[in-house]
Amino acid sequence: MNTKETNIADAWSTTLPKLLPELEALYTDLHAHPELSMQEQRTAGIAATRLRQAGFEVTAGVGGTGVVGLLRNGDGPTVMLRADMDALPVAEATGLPYASKATTKDKDGHTVPVMHACGHDMHVTWLIGAGTLLAQARGHWSGTVMAVFQPAEETGTGAQAMIDDGLFKRFPKPDVVLGQHVMVGVAGTISGRAGVITSAGDSLQIRLFGRGAHGSMPQASIDPVVMAAATVLRLQTIVSRELAATEAAVVTIGALQAGTKENVIPDEALIKLNVRTFDEGVRKRVLAAITRIVNAEAAASGAPKPPEITPLDSYALVVNDADANQKVGDAFRRHFAEGRVEKTVPTSASEDFGCFGAEWKVPSVFWFVGCTDPETYAKAKAAGRLNDLPTNHNARFAPVLEPTLRTGVETLVVATRAWLAAK
């Protein structure tokens, strides 16, 4: 460990254990009070208050509910740290004493359950903890820490909303953008990689048009249910028959909706699908194939008009800068015990984190922090049943508090101090 790191580590090594009970209480409170995308008023208010208490200059309402905190501490690099805040319309089934019982209205006016099924409550807690520790250690570093609490990651709109609201004009340009995500894996481990780390994600809605009729007279119809079924089957051939074995993609049909009664052939059918890819060329080919197949199946069925294909959300690839990733990884390996820092493969999950570095044209680094009980993970791995563990977005997804909480605070501090100037 170098002198700069030793000094800062000494400054907060005794403070962090004292802070952890407070952070645990904060986390359980956030978990019990989740908020959907662009509804994160309570969460944003808590983040803003905690940053002000730590000495940050705080601007709220950026991109809707986003919060930006600046901790200016003399000359030196500017390091941006990002945490997303939103939850999902999922009914929690963890059985935890602090489980969410919340419901709310979604953007369409429907009453839905709400749960932090992706772990963004942990992200918020991590960043508040790291910001507090960095503020307390100001005597050991110089530069600027920029803490960004982002709304609406789950809809892929939050990062861009903050950018569109003048994020790059109203705040200093960072030298590096850092982010992390809680993920299934042994709690206390950290994993990352240079290059692509999360996939591109594209969601589409397809509306197919037919001609309704009585179920006893199918000859009078153009059946959109059959049209939709043929379309779904054909879409699955994109990956199996149009991509090479060395190329990767996922095409998932998440919703297929048509009709209201068993003896009524409806006029329309609706398909909602999601695509994940790891290469921009593959992404373009898959999306083009979807358009071709959907239109061809409609034409083959004699549809009265072409289908409507509507984009729902889109996530770009998250790509870690090689040099910046090496710098952060080296800092992790110096700080954490051997075996806790691992190299991962690209994940098919998607993130809008990459928007910040891409728009600012600065390096960015994104990594994962494991959150699964080590014994539980080891048993599942030994039995070849890792896929049975509740993943992010599952109603039973529940990070173990320790060492997950402590590790995520440490990683942010360690990664930040690798960039800040020493005093």
User: Is the per-residue pLDDT at 2 higher than 80?
Assistant: no
Q: Supply 393's token pair.
A: 């977005």
According to CATH, the topology of domain 3-199+317-422 is: Aminopeptidase (3.40.630)
Phi-psi region of 259 (alpha: psi -120 to 50; beta: other; left: phi over 0): left
Average pLDDT, the chain: 95
- 245-274 pLDDT, tens per residue? 999 999 999 999 999 999 999 999 999 999
Q: Counting Cβ atoms within 10 Å, is residue 160 exposed (0-12), middle (13-18) or buried (19+)? A: middle
Domains 3-199+317-422 and 200-314 share a fold: no
Residue 302: count other Cβ atoms within 10 Å of its Cβ: 10
Q: Report, as an integer, the average pLDDT of 347-355.
A: 94
Q: How many CB atoms lie within 10 A of CB 375?
A: 9
| Rounded Cα–Cα distance for residues 412 and 49 (Å) | 20
Class of the domain covering 200-314: alpha beta
Question: pLDDT value at position 1?
Answer: 46
Contact 293, 241 (CB under 8 A): no
pLDDT band for position 137 (50/70/90)?
very high
Above 70 in pLDDT, residue 99? yes
Q: What percent of the chain has pLDDT over 70?
A: 97
Span 357-376, average pLDDT: 96
Find out whether 417 and 5 touch, Cβ atoms under 8 Å.
yes
What average pLDDT does the segment 83-93 reach? 98
3-state secondary structure of 209: strand
CA distance 44 to 135: 19
Query: Reduced to 3 states, what is the DSSP secondary structure of residue 55?
Result: coil
For 199, 235, 276, the CA distances from 272, given in Å and listed in that order, are: 19, 12, 14
The alpha carbon of 277 is separated from its chain's Cα centroid by a whole number of angstroms, namely: 16
Active site residues: 86, 153
Q: Tell me what the mean pLDDT of segment 238-250 comes to.
A: 96
Q: What is the rounded average pLDDT of the residues 66-80?
A: 97
Q: Domain boundaries in the chain? A: 3-199+317-422, 200-314
pLDDT at site 422: 83
Confidence of residue 421 (pLDDT cuts 50, 70, 90): confident
Query: Mind listing the pLDDT tens digit for each residue in 4-24?
Result: 555 555 566 678 999 999 999
Least Cα distance to 35 among 49, 45, 50 occurs for: 45
Q: What is the pLDDT of residue 423?
A: 76
pLDDT at 6: 54
**Alpha helices by DSSP H, 33-69:** 41-54
Residues pairing with 385 in the sheet? none
Which candidate, 394, 343, 350, 346, places its Cα nearest to that of 372? Answer: 394
As a whole number, mean pLDDT of residues 230-251 equals 97
* Chain segment 370-382, per-residue pLDDT in tens: 999 999 999 999 9
CA distances to 391, 393, 399, 400 from 101, rounded to whole Å, are 20, 16, 18, 20
| Residues whose CB falls within 8 Å of the CB of residue 75, separated by 6 or more in sequence, listed in order | 142, 143, 421
